[in-house]
Structure 1
Amino acid sequence: MKNITLVLVFLAFANFAMGQELVNDFSKYIVVTGSAEVSVPPDEIELQIVLKEYNKSDKIKDKVNLKSIETKFFDILNKNGLSRDDLVFDNSSFYWYYWWVYRNDIYKQKTYKIILNNSTDFLSLVQDLDIDGVNSLSVTNSTNKELQKLRKEVKITALRAAKEKAEYLLESIDERIGNVISIEEMPENQNIFWRGNQSILSNISISSNTTNEEMENLSSIKLRYEVKAKFEIQ
Protein backbone atom coordinates (compact mmCIF):
# COMPACT_ATOMS: atom_id res chain seq x y z
CA MET A 1 0.00 0.00 0.00
CA LYS A 2 2.85 2.31 0.92
CA ASN A 3 4.56 1.63 -2.41
CA ILE A 4 1.34 2.37 -4.32
CA THR A 5 0.98 5.70 -2.49
CA LEU A 6 4.54 6.71 -3.38
CA VAL A 7 3.95 5.86 -7.03
CA LEU A 8 0.74 7.94 -7.09
CA VAL A 9 2.52 10.91 -5.49
CA PHE A 10 5.34 10.66 -8.02
CA LEU A 11 2.90 10.51 -10.93
CA ALA A 12 0.99 13.49 -9.60
CA PHE A 13 4.21 15.50 -9.25
CA ALA A 14 5.32 14.50 -12.76
CA ASN A 15 1.98 15.58 -14.22
CA PHE A 16 2.21 18.90 -12.36
CA ALA A 17 5.75 19.49 -13.66
CA MET A 18 4.69 18.68 -17.22
CA GLY A 19 1.77 21.04 -16.85
CA GLN A 20 4.11 23.79 -15.68
CA GLU A 21 6.41 23.19 -18.65
CA LEU A 22 3.48 23.42 -21.04
CA VAL A 23 2.39 26.69 -19.47
CA ASN A 24 5.91 28.06 -19.76
CA ASP A 25 6.25 26.89 -23.35
CA PHE A 26 3.09 28.73 -24.33
CA SER A 27 3.84 31.93 -22.37
CA LYS A 28 4.17 35.02 -24.53
CA TYR A 29 7.53 36.75 -24.77
CA ILE A 30 9.66 38.77 -27.16
CA VAL A 31 13.42 38.52 -27.71
CA VAL A 32 15.26 41.58 -29.04
CA THR A 33 18.84 42.74 -29.49
CA GLY A 34 20.01 46.26 -28.71
CA SER A 35 23.34 47.82 -29.65
CA ALA A 36 25.29 50.97 -28.86
CA GLU A 37 28.66 52.37 -29.82
CA VAL A 38 30.90 55.33 -29.07
CA SER A 39 34.24 56.67 -30.31
CA VAL A 40 36.68 57.62 -27.57
CA PRO A 41 39.74 59.84 -28.05
CA PRO A 42 42.76 58.13 -26.49
CA ASP A 43 44.72 59.55 -23.57
CA GLU A 44 47.83 57.72 -24.72
CA ILE A 45 49.08 56.43 -28.05
CA GLU A 46 51.94 54.00 -28.50
CA LEU A 47 53.91 54.85 -31.63
CA GLN A 48 56.45 52.52 -33.20
CA ILE A 49 59.28 54.10 -35.22
CA VAL A 50 61.65 52.08 -37.40
CA LEU A 51 64.97 53.68 -38.36
CA LYS A 52 67.01 52.16 -41.18
CA GLU A 53 70.28 52.97 -42.90
CA TYR A 54 70.03 54.01 -46.55
CA ASN A 55 72.09 55.18 -49.53
CA LYS A 56 72.17 58.85 -50.51
CA SER A 57 72.58 57.87 -54.14
CA ASP A 58 72.85 54.83 -56.35
CA LYS A 59 76.43 54.34 -55.25
CA ILE A 60 76.85 51.27 -53.10
CA LYS A 61 79.22 52.90 -50.62
CA ASP A 62 77.23 56.13 -50.25
CA LYS A 63 75.50 54.95 -47.09
CA VAL A 64 74.06 57.10 -44.29
CA ASN A 65 74.82 55.33 -41.02
CA LEU A 66 72.33 54.73 -38.26
CA LYS A 67 74.05 57.08 -35.83
CA SER A 68 73.46 60.06 -38.17
CA ILE A 69 69.83 59.06 -38.62
CA GLU A 70 69.35 58.78 -34.87
CA THR A 71 70.83 62.26 -34.34
CA LYS A 72 68.22 63.80 -36.67
CA PHE A 73 65.54 61.66 -35.07
CA PHE A 74 66.40 62.84 -31.56
CA ASP A 75 66.40 66.47 -32.74
CA ILE A 76 62.87 66.02 -34.09
CA LEU A 77 61.75 64.57 -30.77
CA ASN A 78 63.17 67.58 -28.92
CA LYS A 79 61.41 69.94 -31.33
CA ASN A 80 58.10 68.26 -30.44
CA GLY A 81 58.64 68.41 -26.68
CA LEU A 82 59.91 64.84 -26.35
CA SER A 83 63.25 63.45 -25.24
CA ARG A 84 65.37 60.32 -25.64
CA ASP A 85 64.28 59.28 -22.15
CA ASP A 86 60.74 58.84 -23.48
CA LEU A 87 61.91 56.21 -25.96
CA VAL A 88 61.85 52.48 -25.39
CA PHE A 89 64.24 50.40 -27.48
CA ASP A 90 62.31 47.57 -29.13
CA ASN A 91 64.74 45.66 -31.34
CA SER A 92 67.66 45.89 -33.74
CA SER A 93 68.35 43.98 -36.93
CA PHE A 94 70.79 43.79 -39.84
CA TYR A 95 70.23 43.38 -43.58
CA TRP A 96 72.70 42.30 -46.21
CA TYR A 97 72.78 44.43 -49.34
CA TYR A 98 73.39 42.47 -52.56
CA TRP A 99 74.57 43.79 -55.88
CA TRP A 100 73.97 41.12 -58.48
CA VAL A 101 75.04 37.97 -56.67
CA TYR A 102 77.63 39.57 -54.40
CA ARG A 103 77.06 40.59 -50.83
CA ASN A 104 78.37 44.13 -50.48
CA ASP A 105 77.34 45.71 -47.22
CA ILE A 106 75.26 45.46 -44.05
CA TYR A 107 72.36 47.83 -43.37
CA LYS A 108 71.33 48.31 -39.76
CA GLN A 109 67.78 48.84 -38.58
CA LYS A 110 66.56 49.87 -35.15
CA THR A 111 63.02 50.00 -33.77
CA TYR A 112 61.83 52.32 -31.02
CA LYS A 113 58.53 52.76 -29.25
CA ILE A 114 57.27 55.90 -27.55
CA ILE A 115 54.15 56.70 -25.53
CA LEU A 116 52.46 59.95 -26.56
CA ASN A 117 49.88 61.80 -24.49
CA ASN A 118 47.54 64.70 -25.21
CA SER A 119 50.33 67.25 -24.85
CA THR A 120 51.95 66.06 -28.10
CA ASP A 121 50.75 67.29 -31.49
CA PHE A 122 50.53 63.88 -33.11
CA LEU A 123 50.12 65.03 -36.72
CA SER A 124 52.94 67.58 -36.43
CA LEU A 125 55.27 64.87 -35.10
CA VAL A 126 54.39 62.53 -37.96
CA GLN A 127 55.03 65.25 -40.53
CA ASP A 128 58.41 66.09 -38.98
CA LEU A 129 59.40 62.42 -39.05
CA ASP A 130 58.91 62.25 -42.81
CA ILE A 131 62.65 62.10 -43.46
CA ASP A 132 65.04 59.66 -45.08
CA GLY A 133 66.07 57.06 -42.57
CA VAL A 134 62.69 56.83 -40.84
CA ASN A 135 61.59 53.64 -42.52
CA SER A 136 58.10 53.33 -41.03
CA LEU A 137 55.70 54.63 -38.40
CA SER A 138 52.81 52.70 -36.92
CA VAL A 139 50.30 53.04 -34.10
CA THR A 140 50.60 49.85 -32.07
CA ASN A 141 48.24 50.64 -29.21
CA SER A 142 45.98 53.32 -27.75
CA THR A 143 44.13 53.63 -24.46
CA ASN A 144 41.91 55.87 -22.35
CA LYS A 145 41.83 55.93 -18.54
CA GLU A 146 38.01 56.14 -18.58
CA LEU A 147 37.65 53.04 -20.76
CA GLN A 148 36.15 50.80 -18.06
CA LYS A 149 33.54 53.39 -17.13
CA LEU A 150 32.69 53.97 -20.79
CA ARG A 151 32.25 50.23 -21.38
CA LYS A 152 29.57 50.13 -18.66
CA GLU A 153 27.79 53.15 -20.12
CA VAL A 154 27.75 51.66 -23.61
CA LYS A 155 26.35 48.35 -22.29
CA ILE A 156 23.59 50.18 -20.39
CA THR A 157 22.71 52.16 -23.51
CA ALA A 158 22.57 48.93 -25.53
CA LEU A 159 20.18 47.35 -23.00
CA ARG A 160 17.93 50.42 -23.04
CA ALA A 161 17.92 50.27 -26.83
CA ALA A 162 16.77 46.63 -26.63
CA LYS A 163 13.91 47.57 -24.30
CA GLU A 164 12.87 50.47 -26.51
CA LYS A 165 12.88 48.17 -29.54
CA ALA A 166 10.66 45.66 -27.74
CA GLU A 167 8.24 48.43 -26.73
CA TYR A 168 7.70 49.89 -30.19
CA LEU A 169 7.48 46.47 -31.84
CA LEU A 170 4.78 45.37 -29.39
CA GLU A 171 2.92 48.67 -29.65
CA SER A 172 2.63 48.11 -33.40
CA ILE A 173 0.47 45.02 -32.68
CA ASP A 174 -1.39 46.49 -29.68
CA GLU A 175 0.63 44.57 -27.11
CA ARG A 176 2.52 45.78 -24.07
CA ILE A 177 5.93 44.86 -22.71
CA GLY A 178 6.11 43.06 -19.37
CA ASN A 179 8.89 42.15 -16.97
CA VAL A 180 12.31 41.20 -18.21
CA ILE A 181 12.91 37.43 -18.31
CA SER A 182 16.60 37.32 -19.20
CA ILE A 183 19.47 39.51 -20.35
CA GLU A 184 22.38 38.14 -22.35
CA GLU A 185 25.50 40.10 -23.18
CA MET A 186 26.94 39.13 -26.54
CA PRO A 187 30.52 37.74 -26.55
CA GLU A 188 33.02 40.50 -25.91
CA ASN A 189 35.21 39.63 -28.88
CA GLN A 190 32.26 40.59 -31.09
CA ASN A 191 31.60 43.83 -29.25
CA ILE A 192 34.80 45.79 -28.78
CA PHE A 193 36.82 46.95 -31.71
CA TRP A 194 39.15 49.74 -32.69
CA ARG A 195 38.83 51.61 -35.94
CA GLY A 196 41.24 50.11 -38.43
CA ASN A 197 41.24 46.72 -36.75
CA GLN A 198 38.50 44.27 -35.76
CA SER A 199 39.76 43.70 -32.23
CA ILE A 200 42.63 46.01 -31.30
CA LEU A 201 44.40 48.93 -32.82
CA SER A 202 47.56 47.37 -34.14
CA ASN A 203 50.20 48.08 -36.78
CA ILE A 204 48.36 50.91 -38.49
CA SER A 205 50.85 52.58 -40.81
CA ILE A 206 50.82 56.38 -41.02
CA SER A 207 52.68 58.94 -43.10
CA SER A 208 53.13 62.68 -43.55
CA ASN A 209 50.21 62.65 -45.99
CA THR A 210 47.82 61.54 -43.26
CA THR A 211 45.23 64.26 -42.60
CA ASN A 212 43.94 65.42 -39.21
CA GLU A 213 40.65 63.60 -39.79
CA GLU A 214 42.38 60.39 -40.82
CA MET A 215 44.70 60.63 -37.82
CA GLU A 216 41.74 61.03 -35.47
CA ASN A 217 40.05 57.99 -37.01
CA LEU A 218 43.21 55.91 -36.75
CA SER A 219 43.88 56.65 -33.12
CA SER A 220 40.33 56.83 -31.73
CA ILE A 221 39.05 53.88 -29.72
CA LYS A 222 35.66 52.63 -30.80
CA LEU A 223 33.49 50.67 -28.36
CA ARG A 224 30.47 48.70 -29.54
CA TYR A 225 28.29 46.33 -27.54
CA GLU A 226 25.23 44.21 -28.23
CA VAL A 227 22.81 42.93 -25.59
CA LYS A 228 20.06 40.36 -26.12
CA ALA A 229 17.02 40.71 -23.86
CA LYS A 230 13.88 38.63 -23.37
CA PHE A 231 10.69 40.34 -22.13
CA GLU A 232 7.25 39.09 -21.17
CA ILE A 233 4.29 40.20 -23.24
CA GLN A 234 1.43 41.35 -21.02
Structure 2
Amino acid sequence: MKKIILFSVLFITTLSSFAQTTIVQQPLQRKIEVSGFSEMEIVPDELYFSISLREYFNDEKNQKDKVIISTLEKQLIKAVAEAGLPKEALSISSVGGYQNYVDKKKKPASFLENKQYELKVDRADKLDGILSKVESRGIQYANIARVDHSKKEEFKKQVKINALKAAKDKAAYLLEAVDQKLGPVLEIREVEDNVNYPQPMYAKANMRMMAASESADSVQDSDLQYQKIKISYRMQAIFEIK
Protein backbone atom coordinates (compact mmCIF):
# COMPACT_ATOMS: atom_id res chain seq x y z
CA MET A 1 0.00 0.00 0.00
CA LYS A 2 2.85 2.38 0.85
CA LYS A 3 4.48 1.60 -2.50
CA ILE A 4 1.30 2.53 -4.37
CA ILE A 5 0.96 5.87 -2.53
CA LEU A 6 4.63 6.67 -3.08
CA PHE A 7 4.33 5.93 -6.81
CA SER A 8 1.30 8.21 -7.10
CA VAL A 9 3.11 11.10 -5.41
CA LEU A 10 6.12 10.65 -7.68
CA PHE A 11 3.88 10.52 -10.78
CA ILE A 12 2.02 13.74 -9.86
CA THR A 13 5.29 15.51 -9.03
CA THR A 14 6.74 14.47 -12.40
CA LEU A 15 3.68 15.77 -14.29
CA SER A 16 3.82 19.07 -12.41
CA SER A 17 7.51 19.51 -13.22
CA PHE A 18 6.87 18.65 -16.88
CA ALA A 19 4.04 21.20 -17.15
CA GLN A 20 6.19 23.92 -15.64
CA THR A 21 9.01 23.31 -18.08
CA THR A 22 6.76 23.28 -21.21
CA ILE A 23 4.82 26.53 -20.57
CA VAL A 24 6.57 29.34 -22.48
CA GLN A 25 5.27 32.85 -22.20
CA GLN A 26 4.86 34.49 -25.61
CA PRO A 27 6.21 38.03 -25.95
CA LEU A 28 3.56 40.74 -26.35
CA GLN A 29 3.11 41.62 -30.02
CA ARG A 30 3.51 45.30 -30.69
CA LYS A 31 1.02 46.63 -33.23
CA ILE A 32 -0.71 49.78 -34.45
CA GLU A 33 -4.31 50.06 -35.68
CA VAL A 34 -5.33 52.89 -38.01
CA SER A 35 -8.04 53.80 -40.52
CA GLY A 36 -7.72 55.30 -43.99
CA PHE A 37 -10.31 57.22 -46.00
CA SER A 38 -10.61 57.93 -49.72
CA GLU A 39 -13.21 59.66 -51.86
CA MET A 40 -13.77 60.09 -55.60
CA GLU A 41 -16.27 62.06 -57.66
CA ILE A 42 -17.17 60.87 -61.16
CA VAL A 43 -19.29 62.40 -63.91
CA PRO A 44 -22.16 60.03 -64.83
CA ASP A 45 -22.01 58.56 -68.33
CA GLU A 46 -25.35 56.72 -68.04
CA LEU A 47 -28.39 58.99 -67.74
CA TYR A 48 -31.82 57.36 -67.53
CA PHE A 49 -34.68 59.64 -68.57
CA SER A 50 -38.34 58.93 -67.86
CA ILE A 51 -40.45 60.15 -70.80
CA SER A 52 -44.25 60.19 -70.90
CA LEU A 53 -46.21 60.53 -74.16
CA ARG A 54 -49.96 61.09 -74.28
CA GLU A 55 -52.62 61.22 -76.95
CA TYR A 56 -54.28 64.55 -77.76
CA PHE A 57 -56.69 66.22 -80.18
CA ASN A 58 -55.52 68.76 -82.72
CA ASP A 59 -59.03 70.19 -82.48
CA GLU A 60 -59.38 70.07 -78.73
CA LYS A 61 -62.63 72.01 -78.59
CA ASN A 62 -64.52 69.65 -80.88
CA GLN A 63 -62.59 66.51 -79.88
CA LYS A 64 -61.50 65.84 -83.45
CA ASP A 65 -58.33 64.82 -85.29
CA LYS A 66 -56.82 62.72 -82.49
CA VAL A 67 -53.08 62.04 -82.53
CA ILE A 68 -52.83 58.46 -81.30
CA ILE A 69 -50.09 57.05 -79.08
CA SER A 70 -48.65 54.80 -81.79
CA THR A 71 -47.93 57.87 -83.95
CA LEU A 72 -46.06 59.55 -81.11
CA GLU A 73 -44.21 56.34 -80.29
CA LYS A 74 -43.02 55.97 -83.90
CA GLN A 75 -41.70 59.53 -83.80
CA LEU A 76 -39.80 58.80 -80.59
CA ILE A 77 -38.33 55.52 -81.88
CA LYS A 78 -37.21 57.19 -85.10
CA ALA A 79 -35.64 60.10 -83.20
CA VAL A 80 -33.72 57.70 -80.94
CA ALA A 81 -32.37 55.83 -83.98
CA GLU A 82 -31.36 59.07 -85.73
CA ALA A 83 -29.47 60.08 -82.58
CA GLY A 84 -27.28 57.00 -83.07
CA LEU A 85 -28.59 55.13 -80.04
CA PRO A 86 -29.27 51.37 -80.06
CA LYS A 87 -32.81 50.00 -79.88
CA GLU A 88 -32.10 48.77 -76.34
CA ALA A 89 -31.67 52.39 -75.17
CA LEU A 90 -35.46 52.87 -75.24
CA SER A 91 -37.91 50.68 -73.34
CA ILE A 92 -41.55 50.90 -72.20
CA SER A 93 -41.92 51.25 -68.42
CA SER A 94 -45.72 51.53 -68.11
CA VAL A 95 -48.97 52.12 -70.03
CA GLY A 96 -52.01 54.05 -68.81
CA GLY A 97 -54.64 56.56 -69.76
CA TYR A 98 -56.79 59.44 -68.59
CA GLN A 99 -60.24 60.93 -69.15
CA ASN A 100 -60.28 64.03 -71.30
CA TYR A 101 -62.75 66.67 -70.08
CA VAL A 102 -64.05 69.34 -72.47
CA ASP A 103 -66.06 71.05 -69.74
CA LYS A 104 -65.76 70.43 -66.01
CA LYS A 105 -69.56 70.34 -65.69
CA LYS A 106 -69.91 67.66 -68.33
CA LYS A 107 -68.90 64.05 -68.44
CA PRO A 108 -65.57 63.13 -69.98
CA ALA A 109 -65.77 63.17 -73.77
CA SER A 110 -63.08 60.57 -74.39
CA PHE A 111 -60.36 58.36 -72.95
CA LEU A 112 -56.81 59.18 -74.05
CA GLU A 113 -53.90 56.75 -73.71
CA ASN A 114 -50.43 57.55 -72.39
CA LYS A 115 -47.19 55.61 -72.25
CA GLN A 116 -44.07 55.96 -70.14
CA TYR A 117 -40.62 55.12 -71.49
CA GLU A 118 -37.10 54.90 -70.11
CA LEU A 119 -34.38 56.32 -72.34
CA LYS A 120 -30.69 55.72 -71.65
CA VAL A 121 -28.21 58.30 -72.99
CA ASP A 122 -24.63 59.18 -72.18
CA ARG A 123 -25.11 62.96 -72.30
CA ALA A 124 -28.01 65.16 -71.22
CA ASP A 125 -27.81 67.36 -74.32
CA LYS A 126 -28.98 64.45 -76.50
CA LEU A 127 -32.45 64.59 -74.99
CA ASP A 128 -33.48 67.91 -76.53
CA GLY A 129 -32.49 66.75 -79.99
CA ILE A 130 -34.58 63.59 -79.61
CA LEU A 131 -37.69 65.23 -78.15
CA SER A 132 -37.60 68.03 -80.70
CA LYS A 133 -38.65 65.43 -83.29
CA VAL A 134 -41.73 64.39 -81.31
CA GLU A 135 -44.94 66.42 -81.37
CA SER A 136 -44.52 68.72 -78.37
CA ARG A 137 -48.20 68.50 -77.37
CA GLY A 138 -47.77 64.76 -77.03
CA ILE A 139 -44.93 65.05 -74.50
CA GLN A 140 -46.37 64.96 -71.00
CA TYR A 141 -43.03 65.17 -69.19
CA ALA A 142 -39.35 64.20 -69.44
CA ASN A 143 -37.35 63.80 -66.22
CA ILE A 144 -34.11 62.17 -65.17
CA ALA A 145 -34.99 59.04 -63.21
CA ARG A 146 -31.47 58.01 -62.22
CA VAL A 147 -27.79 58.25 -63.15
CA ASP A 148 -24.92 55.76 -63.15
CA HIS A 149 -21.47 55.08 -64.59
CA SER A 150 -20.43 52.20 -66.80
CA LYS A 151 -17.12 51.76 -64.93
CA LYS A 152 -18.45 52.26 -61.41
CA GLU A 153 -17.08 48.94 -60.09
CA GLU A 154 -13.57 49.80 -61.30
CA PHE A 155 -13.75 53.17 -59.55
CA LYS A 156 -14.99 51.53 -56.33
CA LYS A 157 -12.00 49.17 -56.41
CA GLN A 158 -9.57 52.06 -56.85
CA VAL A 159 -11.12 54.04 -53.99
CA LYS A 160 -10.73 51.04 -51.66
CA ILE A 161 -7.07 50.69 -52.65
CA ASN A 162 -6.49 54.40 -52.05
CA ALA A 163 -8.15 54.17 -48.62
CA LEU A 164 -5.90 51.26 -47.64
CA LYS A 165 -2.82 53.11 -48.85
CA ALA A 166 -3.92 56.11 -46.77
CA ALA A 167 -4.11 53.85 -43.70
CA LYS A 168 -0.59 52.53 -44.34
CA ASP A 169 0.80 56.05 -44.80
CA LYS A 170 -0.85 57.17 -41.57
CA ALA A 171 0.62 54.25 -39.62
CA ALA A 172 4.08 54.92 -41.07
CA TYR A 173 4.25 58.61 -40.14
CA LEU A 174 2.79 58.02 -36.68
CA LEU A 175 5.44 55.42 -35.92
CA GLU A 176 8.16 57.60 -37.39
CA ALA A 177 7.18 60.30 -34.88
CA VAL A 178 8.15 57.93 -32.05
CA ASP A 179 11.24 56.48 -33.78
CA GLN A 180 9.58 53.19 -34.69
CA LYS A 181 9.30 51.32 -37.97
CA LEU A 182 6.27 49.86 -39.70
CA GLY A 183 6.06 46.08 -39.99
CA PRO A 184 3.85 43.79 -42.13
CA VAL A 185 0.07 44.09 -42.14
CA LEU A 186 -1.76 41.81 -39.70
CA GLU A 187 -5.41 42.55 -40.45
CA ILE A 188 -7.51 44.54 -42.96
CA ARG A 189 -11.19 45.43 -42.54
CA GLU A 190 -13.62 47.44 -44.64
CA VAL A 191 -15.56 49.51 -42.11
CA GLU A 192 -17.53 52.01 -44.18
CA ASP A 193 -18.65 52.45 -47.76
CA ASN A 194 -20.85 55.00 -49.44
CA VAL A 195 -21.94 55.57 -53.03
CA ASN A 196 -24.03 58.72 -53.38
CA TYR A 197 -26.29 59.13 -56.41
CA PRO A 198 -27.41 62.76 -56.27
CA GLN A 199 -30.74 64.01 -57.53
CA PRO A 200 -30.33 66.14 -60.67
CA MET A 201 -31.08 69.84 -60.52
CA TYR A 202 -33.52 70.99 -63.17
CA ALA A 203 -33.46 74.37 -64.84
CA LYS A 204 -35.93 75.26 -67.60
CA ALA A 205 -35.19 72.34 -69.92
CA ASN A 206 -38.44 70.44 -69.33
CA MET A 207 -40.70 73.43 -69.76
CA ARG A 208 -38.94 74.36 -72.98
CA MET A 209 -39.23 70.87 -74.39
CA MET A 210 -42.92 70.61 -73.61
CA ALA A 211 -43.89 74.06 -74.83
CA ALA A 212 -46.32 73.66 -77.71
CA SER A 213 -45.41 77.02 -79.16
CA GLU A 214 -41.82 75.99 -79.88
CA SER A 215 -40.80 74.44 -83.15
CA ALA A 216 -38.13 71.76 -83.56
CA ASP A 217 -35.71 74.31 -85.03
CA SER A 218 -35.99 76.59 -82.00
CA VAL A 219 -34.97 73.96 -79.45
CA GLN A 220 -31.57 74.80 -77.95
CA ASP A 221 -29.09 72.68 -76.07
CA SER A 222 -30.37 71.46 -72.73
CA ASP A 223 -29.38 73.51 -69.68
CA LEU A 224 -30.03 70.55 -67.39
CA GLN A 225 -27.48 70.41 -64.59
CA TYR A 226 -26.55 67.37 -62.51
CA GLN A 227 -24.02 66.62 -59.81
CA LYS A 228 -21.31 64.00 -59.80
CA ILE A 229 -21.56 60.53 -58.30
CA LYS A 230 -19.56 60.42 -55.06
CA ILE A 231 -17.82 57.18 -54.01
CA SER A 232 -16.11 56.91 -50.60
CA TYR A 233 -14.59 54.11 -48.52
CA ARG A 234 -12.97 53.77 -45.10
CA MET A 235 -10.55 50.89 -44.45
CA GLN A 236 -9.22 49.71 -41.09
CA ALA A 237 -5.78 48.09 -40.91
CA ILE A 238 -3.52 46.66 -38.19
CA PHE A 239 0.25 46.65 -38.71
CA GLU A 240 3.06 45.10 -36.72
CA ILE A 241 5.61 47.44 -35.13
CA LYS A 242 9.12 46.26 -35.83
TM bucket (normalised to shorter chain) is 0.5 to 0.7
The correspondence for 1:224, drawn from 222, 232, 241, is: 232
Q: TM-score, normalised by structure 2?
A: 0.63
1:33 deviates by: 1.2
- Distance in 2 between residues matched to 1:5 and 1:96, nearest whole Å: 100
3-state SS of 1:81 partner:
coil
Q: Deviations over 1:9-39 (max 9, x none)?
A: 89759975xx54xx54xx4432211122333
Deviation for aligned residue 1:170: 3.1
Cα deviations by residue, 1:143-184 (Å, 9 ceiling, x for unpaired) = 32x444433322221111111112223334444333322111
Q: What letter is aligned with 1:136? A: A
What is the rounded CA distance, in whole Å, between the counterparts of 1:60 and 1:8 in structure 2? 109
Q: Which amino acid aligns with 2:96?
A: S
The answer for the alignment partner of 1:81 in structure 2 is 84
Letter paired with 2:84:
G
User: What is the aligned-residue RMSD (CA, Å)?
Assistant: 4.2
Q: Please name the residue that 2:148 is paired with.
A: 142
Q: Map of 1:26-41 to 2, 5 A cutoff?
A: 27-41=29-43
How big is the shift at 1:228? Answer: 0.6
1:123-134 counterparts in 2 under 5 A?
Answer: 123-126=125-128, 129=131, 131-132=136-137, 133-134=139-140
* Structure 1 stretches of at least 4 aligned residues deviating more than 6 Å after TM superposition: 55-58
The answer to whether the 8 Å contact 1:138/1:206 transfers is no
Residues 1:159 and 2:164 aligned together: yes
Letter in 2 for 1:93: G
Post-superposition Cα deviations, 1:89-126, rounded to whole Å, max 9, x if no partner, equal 22201234563695554342211223335xxx531424
Unaligned runs of 5+ residues in structure 1 are 198-203
Q: 1:194 to 1:110 in 2, by over 3 A?
A: same
